[in-house]
């Protein structure tokens, strides 16, 4: 009789140990989804965070409105510690600028713009600019230190004979209109350029890192 009890105790103990091991394995495996989608924290100075459009680099591919664009050039802006970026994105003959983060605190800080070469800006930009039937009102302005990378289109003359990432100064004026219409005027040296387009949600632009 005692022998039978000892056998039963041994079997029950073994089953309990197996149950504990299975439970522990499940807990270790529940990492919150696919490992590529988990947020990885920096370790030993190396960041494993997945890049977004706010970390755009030259040679990245962006998908917007069903079309893939290659980032051929980028401008990194810095104004007293506030940083934003502008990427020159290209698909064949279509050239646009993706400007992300120009506003310090705004849910609509992503803009898809094209350069307007038909609206003249020859002096200090006015309080309002009218293009077609849209009236853009001045919202913010400032001056930033900028690093230029890759092919920045008409600004390329500033890069001639200079190393990648060289620094320039830029004055800027941000205009908004009812709805999602937006406009940016930049002054580089004595030249002005005007970018006009729309505010968009970050999720409408997808990033495929080039490196």
**Which of these, 52, 91, 175, 67, lies nearest to 125 by C-alpha position?**
175
The pLDDT of residue 13: 52
The pLDDT of residue 34: 29
The SS3 call for residue 73 is strand
126 neighbors 141 (Cβ within 8 angstroms): no
The pLDDT of residue 138: 98
pLDDT along the chain (211 residues), means of 10: 47 48 43 32 44 92 96 97 96 96 79 95 92 96 97 87 90 96 96 96 90 65
Q: What angle do CA 143, 147, 153 make, to 5 degrees?
A: 95
CA distances from 54 to 79, 92, 207 (A): 16, 24, 10
As a dihedral over the C-alpha atoms of residue 131, residue 73, residue 93, residue 62, rounded to 10 degrees, the angle is: -90
The pLDDT of residue 211: 65
The pLDDT of residue 22: 41
């Amino acid at each position: 009789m005692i022998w039978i009890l000892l056998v039963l105790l041994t079997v029950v103990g073994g089953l309990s140990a197996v149950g504990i091991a299975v439970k522990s394995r499940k807990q270790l495996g529940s990492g919150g989804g696919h490992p590529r989608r988990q947020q990885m924290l920096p370790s030993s100075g190396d960041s494993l965070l997945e890049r977004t459009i706010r970390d755009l680099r030259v040679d990245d591919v962006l998908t917007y409105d069903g079309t893939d664009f290659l980032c051929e050039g980028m401008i990194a802006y810095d104004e007293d510690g506030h940083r934003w970026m502008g990427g020159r994105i290209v698909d064949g003959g279509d050239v646009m600028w993706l400007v992300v983060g120009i506003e310090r605190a705004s849910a609509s800080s992503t803009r898809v713009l094209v350069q307007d070469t038909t609206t003249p800006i020859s002096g200090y930009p006015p309080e309002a600019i009218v293009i077609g039937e849209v009236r853009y009102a001045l919202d913010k302005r400032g001056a930033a230190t900028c690093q230029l990378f890759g092919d920045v289109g008409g600004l390329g003359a500033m890069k001639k004979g200079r190393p990648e990432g060289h620094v320039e100064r830029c004055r800027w004026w941000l205009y908004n209109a009812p709805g999602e219409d937006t406009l940016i005027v930049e002054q580089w040296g004595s030249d002005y350029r005007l970018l006009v387009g729309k505010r968009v949600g970050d999720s409408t632009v997808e990033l495929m890192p080039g490196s």
